[in-house]
Chains A and B, each alone.
Chain A
C-alpha cells in the first residue's frame, strides 16, 4: 500500500519561505510512471495544484505560482519537497502531497496545515 506523509513547520512568518517534505512508503519516487505532486487547500475552500516531479526528475509547476514554487526530490530518502517563497496570508492552507498517475491522483497524504503569521 502506498503511503505519503507530509512534514514541516505549521507556522511560517510572512515574506519567508514555506518548506515541506513528503515521505513516501510502498513505492519509489525514482521508479515507475508516476508523478509526485503538491496540492493545497485554503481553509473552507477548494483544491489548488502546485506542481509535480516525475520519476526522472522532470518538474511541472502551476503557471500561476511558478515564480514562487520549487519542487525537488531526494531518491535516497524517498522524499520530495516543496518550497514556496515570499508567503502571505493567502498561502495559509492544508498542504497535501499525492501520487499522480496518468491524469488522476490515486494516493494522498493526510495533509499538513500551514499558518502564515508573525
Chain B
C-alpha cells in the first residue's frame, strides 16, 4: 500500500512562514490535498489539486508538489492556524492520508 509520511510536529512564531511536508514515492505524479483539523472539529479542506484553495480559505495558505514531496505553506501564520494538518492522495481507487502534523504557533 502507498504510504504518506508527515513530520509529527512543526512549530512557528506568529507572523512567520510555516512549511508542512508530505513525503511519498513519486508523489509529484499525484494530486495532493491538505486538510486542517482543530480539536473537536471535523477536517476542513484547505488545498486541493496540489495548489488550489477552496473558496473562503485565506490566501496565506498555499501548496506545492514535486518529486517525492508536497508542501503546505502558511505565510504570515496566525494563532488561529494552530491545528493538525493532513495530506491526502488517491492510490488506485482508494484514499490515503498522511499521519498528520501538529502545527504549534507560539
Contacts and interface: CB of A to CB of B under 8 A. Distances in A.
A: contact size bracket: 20 to 34
Contacts of A110: 41-42
B33 A103 contact: yes
Given A61-B94, A96-B42, A46 B100 contact: yes
Contacts of B98: 46
A46 B1 contact: no
Nearest to A58: B93
Interface residues of B, number: 24
Interface in B55-101: 86, 88-90, 93-100
Nearest to A51: B94
A109 B42 contact: yes
Contacts of B99: 46
A74 interface: no
Nearest to B31: A103
